């Protein structure tokens, strides 16, 4: 069965792209063709995995300027990983999101339906915010998983997101599931991180942790999958790998 997942919270810098990209890699490395759709006008997921000139991007597909197959790119060195890119510089998604998407709130949902003919696993990487583009992506998803950093205001951000999601479900007739939280950049030596994890556990959500690990940033700088990146023989920490494998093993069901 095919499934589309978005990792989302309206807050910036909580690890949406890092977790989207890392889970897409994990799924692909385990042998399952996986598509990462870059729905962020910043194009961070695309510049992480793809270098060199590309001809087409997501906004071209959405505007009918090319076929979807012409825009999807296979990631070099990560078998089974595919990206439907957005150009951070000179790209058209920002303008599209500011103008046309208002009249076409279901455009991403329609695209995902088409993509599901080709991919059983699709991940959407969203920009921060809860505007029209993010809403269109959320209703295109079967499940949204919320990444958050273990900070004081994160739980407030989650409350706001839950509230907005209720409205989106009602107004846009969506049944997107929201039952998991990922506490990202978790450090078990820090008391506050433990407190926030425990506070998150008291709610209705299943709560997962991804440890703080400098290899995420380094692998992004090196345009590599974090699971295969090595610097002086060192890659992701064992517990980071376990956390990623664990998360990937439960979310696609
Ligand atoms: N578990 C982690 N350990 C250490 N660094 C991390 C971790 N997760 C993310 N980062 C780093 O934090 C920064 C922000 O992460 P990321 O870009 O994934 O956030 P985002 O939510 O996608 O941001 P935006 O809202 O701008 O799209 C990046 O430099 C990334 O490498
Ligand atoms: Mg991002």
Atom 3 of ligand 1: nearest residue by CA position? 212
Cα-to-centroid distance, 19 and ligand 2 (Å): 9
Q: Residue 60 belongs to what H/E stretch?
A: helix 58-62
pLDDT at 106 over 90: yes
For residue 209, the ligand closest to its alpha carbon is 1
In this structure, of 67-71, 114-118, 151-155, 228-232, the range with the lowest mean pLDDT score is: 151-155
Nearest Cα residue to 37 out of 57, 13, 66: 57
User: If we measure between CA atoms, which residue out of 40, 99, 3 comes closest to residue 21?
Assistant: 40
CA–centroid distance, 74 to ligand 2, in Å, is: 20
Which whole-number Å values give the CA distances from 39 to 174, 183, 190, 240, in the listed order?
19, 22, 33, 26
Question: Is residue 115 a contact partner of residue 35, using CB atoms and an 8 Å limit?
Answer: yes
Q: Is any ligand 1 atom within 6 A of the Cβ of residue 47?
A: no
pLDDT tens digit string along 188-232? 999 999 999 999 999 899 999 999 999 999 999 999 999 999 999
Output Rg (C-alpha) for the chain, integer angstroms: 17
Output the average pLDDT for the chain: 97
d(CA 253, CA 180): 13
Can you tell me whether residue 243 is helix, strand or coil? helix
173 Cα–ligand 1 center, Å: 31
Percentage of the chain lying above the pLDDT 90 cut:
97
Is the CB of 59 within 6 Å of ligand 1? Answer: no
In tens, the pLDDT along 72-104 reads 999 999 999 999 999 999 999 999 999 999 999
Give Cβ neighbours of residue 70 (< 8 Å, ≥ 6 apart).
55, 56
In this structure, what CATH number is given to the domain that contains residue 180? Answer: 3.40.50.300
Q: What is the pLDDT of residue 78?
A: 97
Whether 105 has a pLDDT exceeding 90, the answer reads: yes
Burial of residue 199 (number of CB atoms within 10 Å: 0-12, 13-18, 19+): middle
pLDDT given for residue 245 in this prediction: 98
Task: Determine whether the shortest distance from the Cβ of 209 to ligand 1 is under 6 A.
Answer: no
pLDDT (0 to 100) of residue 154: 87
Give the pLDDT band of residue 247 (cuts 50, 70, 90): very high
Ligand closest to 15 (CA) is: 1
3-state secondary structure of 149: coil
> Residue 152 — very low, low, confident or very high, per pLDDT cuts 50/70/90?
confident
For residue 226 and ligand 1, the question of a CB distance below 6 A is answered with no
How far is ligand 1, taken at its centre, from the CA of residue 170, in Å? 31
Residue 13, ligand 1, Cβ within 6 A: yes
Write out the residue range of the structural domain in which residue 169 sits. 3-251
Non-local CB neighbours of 233 within 8 Å, separated by 6+ positions: none
Measured in angstroms, how far is the CA atom of residue 11 from the centroid of ligand 2? Answer: 10
Helix H or strand E segment including 97: helix 93-98
pLDDT at 183 over 90: yes
CB of 184 closer than 6 A to ligand 1?
A: yes
> What's residue 32's pLDDT?
98
Q: Residues 8-61: pLDDT tens digits? A: 999 999 999 999 999 999 999 999 999 999 999 999 999 999 999 999 999 999
- In contact, 131 and 97? CB cutoff 8 Å: yes
Cβ 63 vs Cβ 99: under 8 Å: no
Handedness of CA 249, 164, 125, 173 (dihedral sign): positive
Number of structural domains (the chain) is 1
């Amino acid at each position: 069965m095919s499934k589309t997942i978005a990792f989302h919270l309206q807050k910036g810098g909580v690890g949406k792209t890092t977790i989207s990209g890392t889970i897409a890699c994990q799924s692909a490395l385990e042998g399952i063709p996986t598509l990462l759709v870059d729905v962020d006008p910043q194009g961070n997921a695309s510049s992480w995995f793809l270098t060199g000139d590309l001809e087409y991007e997501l906004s071209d597909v959405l505007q009918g300027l090319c076929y979807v197959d012409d825009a999807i790119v296979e990631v070099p060195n990560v078998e089974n990983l595919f990206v439907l890119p957005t150009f951070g510089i000179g790209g058209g998604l920002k303008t599209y999101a500011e103008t046309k998407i208002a009249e076409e709130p279901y455009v991403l949902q329609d695209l995902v339906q088409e993509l599901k003919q080709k991919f059983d696993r699709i991940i959407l990487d969203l920009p921060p915010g809860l505007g029209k583009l993010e809403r269109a992506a959320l209703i295109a998803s079967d499940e949204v998983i919320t990444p958050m950093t273990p900070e004081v205001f994160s739980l407030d951000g989650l409350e706001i997101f839950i509230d907005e999601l209720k409205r989106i479900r009602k107004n846009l007739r969506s049944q997107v599931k929201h039952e998991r939280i990922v506490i990202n950049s978790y450090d078990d030596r820090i008391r506050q991180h433990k407190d926030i994890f425990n506070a998150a556990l008291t709610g209705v959500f299943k709560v997962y942790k991804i440890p703080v690990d400098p290899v995420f940033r380094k692998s992004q700088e090196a345009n590599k999958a974090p699971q295969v990146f090595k610097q002086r023989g060192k890659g992701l920490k064992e517990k980071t790998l376990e956390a990623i494998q664990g998360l990937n093993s439960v979310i696609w069901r």
